[in-house]
Amino acid sequence: MILGLFGLLVGLAGWHAGTLWDTLAHTLEKLFGANVPYTLRDLDFLVSTLFLLGMLAALVLYSGLSCQRIRQADRTAQGPERQWSIVKRQFLKNRLAVAGALIILALYLVAFLCPFLAPYDPVEQGDRVQERLLSPSAEHLLGTDRFARDVFSRIIYGSRISLLVGFLAMGLAVTLGTAVGAVAGYYGGWVDSVIMRFVDMMLSFPTLILIITVIALWRNQSIWIIITLIGLMSWMGVARLVRGQFMALKEREFFQAARALGAGTGRLIFQHLLPNSLTPIIVSATLRVGNTILLEASLSYLGLGVQPPTPSWGNIVYDTKGNLFTEWWMPLAAGMAIVITVVGYNLLGDGLRDALDPRLRE
């Protein structure tokens, strides 16, 4: 099951990275040399259409499988209720949690189906004299910015950057944090002390200041640097969490039995300790995505994030904050997108935590 989850995460990460326009451009260049027969928008449409078809196929498959399962259930007796269905039921009872999940689902759909939803190209500049800073209208739902780009399309495409940064930075932070926490928790003793001192030291670094320093010093604002930096500053909480979990689980009988039977370190960690620590990690990971999105937005607001013309929500606020009093809908709408996304992730995380907590069950 861990392998399946891992595969899913890698797949999502791969998709995220692949749909970045520079990656697409790069791939195209490698495949076709100098004379590329397609534009980036064509490729974008291709990927989104593939996704749509894939989703439809998955829906059909799933309904088919469900029918099969219902037919089988009629024949065999009902076994004891499985753990995940208990959790699922508890989760669905919580309306706020479901709302959070729906928000995130909608966000991912928007990100996947960008080319279908955005009426204009987000980086294409219109007539800079006649079409700049237009008010919202039927043609431009949120008006145009000072380079005559359609703000609504930019916000829709901005979701990709936020999702990418949020997801990959969280992935890095959780992987790193789990590894460090696992080592500290499993070995204990002086290894644990040293590692925890290091974690405490890292926690006492002011995150934003450090990231600003590094980005400004190395003058590199590529999205991968930003993801790495944010991930490197966010793993400490997960490490503490995992360490605590491992230390508690080490006292349990099933672990001591496994160890007494001669299980090796790897088997003990991956087969016994890690699967049982998964639930707080998942909750922490979900809540962490919200924080990384906020951090990325703050960096972009200072001008140190992803560079224009690539649209990112923080980017849009940075470009348009000068016009706050006159064309207020632009920064406020982009910021609202951030708020809705982070609220969704927080609701989801809270809901997961409540659903997975056995003490809150009826």
Partner 1 sequence: MHTYIIRRILISIPLLFGLLTINFFLIHAAPGDPTDIFYNPDMDPEARENIRRIYGLDQPLGVQYLKYIQGVVLKFEFGYSIAKKRPVKDEILEALPNTIQLSALALLLELSLGIGIGILAAVKQQSTFDNAIRVTSLTFYSMPSFYLGLVLLFLFAGGVSATHWFPASGMVDIVRHESMSTLGRLGDRAIHIFLPSLTLGIGAAAGISRYMRGELLEVIRQDYMRTARAKGLTERVVVFKHGLRNALMPIITIMGLSLPFLFSGAVIVEQVFGWPGMGRVAVDAAFQRDYSMFLAVNLIFGAMVVVGNLVADILYAMVDPRVRLS
Residue 218 makes contact with partner 1 by CB under 8 A: yes
Residue 324 makes contact with partner 1 by CB under 8 A: yes
How many whole angstroms separate alpha carbon 89 and alpha carbon 83?
10
Subset of residues 164 to 203 that bind partner 1, contact rule: CB under 8 A: 201, 203
Beta bridge partners of 144: 150
Count of C-beta atoms within a 10 Å radius of residue 251 = 8
Q: Which of 32, 62, 187, 205: binder of partner 1 (CB under 8 A)? A: 205
How many whole angstroms separate alpha carbon 144 and alpha carbon 324?
14
How many whole angstroms separate alpha carbon 277 and alpha carbon 251?
14
Of 9-17, 28-36, 221-229, 345-353, the segment contacting partner 1 by CB under 8 A is 345-353
Rounded to the nearest 10°, the torsion over CA 20, 22, 25, 27 is -70
Q: Which of 303, 307, 322, 361: binder of partner 1 (CB under 8 A)? A: 303
Q: Which of 26, 321, 322, 361: binder of partner 1 (CB under 8 A)? A: 321
**Which of left, alpha, beta for 97 (phi over 0: left; psi -120 to 50: alpha)?**
alpha
Record the tokens describing residue 111, joined without a space.
Answer: 């990100």
How many whole angstroms separate alpha carbon 282 and alpha carbon 243?
15
Provide the mask over 88-107, with x wherever binding to partner 1 is found by CB under 8 A and - wherever it is not: --------x-----------
Q: Which of 123, 249, 268, 343: binder of partner 1 (CB under 8 A)? A: 343
Helices (H), 137-205: 151-187, 189-203
Of 76-84, 113-121, 223-231, 295-303, the segment contacting partner 1 by CB under 8 A is 295-303
How many whole angstroms separate alpha carbon 246 and alpha carbon 12?
28
Residue 273 makes contact with partner 1 by CB under 8 A: no
Q: Report the nearest approach of partner 1 to the CB of residue 335 (Å).
A: 4
Residues in contact with partner 1 by CB under 8 A are 96, 201, 203-210, 212-219, 290, 294, 297-298, 301-304, 314, 317, 321, 324-325, 328, 331-332, 335-336, 338-339, 342-343, 345-347, 350
